[in-house]
Amino acid sequence: MLEEQVKSALNNVRPSLQADGGDVEFVSVADDGTVSVKLTGACGGCPMAQMTLKMGIENYLKKEVPQVTAVVGV
């Protein structure tokens, strides 16, 4: 259930990343609510990737899926 909610929320974020030539892939979600994702394309090597991950993706996921505690890149 939690995994499906996270994947759905990531699908809402994906178009913004794709507009800049990047994307995000779901990797896993831990029991403590930590979501692991992989930034790909232009986002994979972007110097702003960590900010995108924390300020963009993490904030959005926490708002949409309250069980999410953190988002980490792998």
pLDDT at residue 23 is higher than 90: yes
pLDDT at residue 11 is higher than 90: yes
pLDDT in tens, 47-67: 888 888 999 999 999 999 999
State which residues form the domain around 14: 2-69
Residue 64 domain-assigned?
yes
Question: Across-strand partners of 35?
Answer: 29, 71
Q: Which residues of 26-63 are buried (b: 16+ CB within 10 A; e: fewer)?
A: eeebeeebebebebeeebeeeeeeeebbeebbbebbbe
pLDDT at residue 7 is higher than 90: yes
62: domain CATH number? 3.30.300.130
pLDDT at residue 35 is higher than 90: yes
Residue 9 domain-assigned?
yes
Total-model pTM: 0.90
- Domains of the chain: total: 1
Residue 34 domain-assigned?
yes
Residue 74 domain-assigned?
no
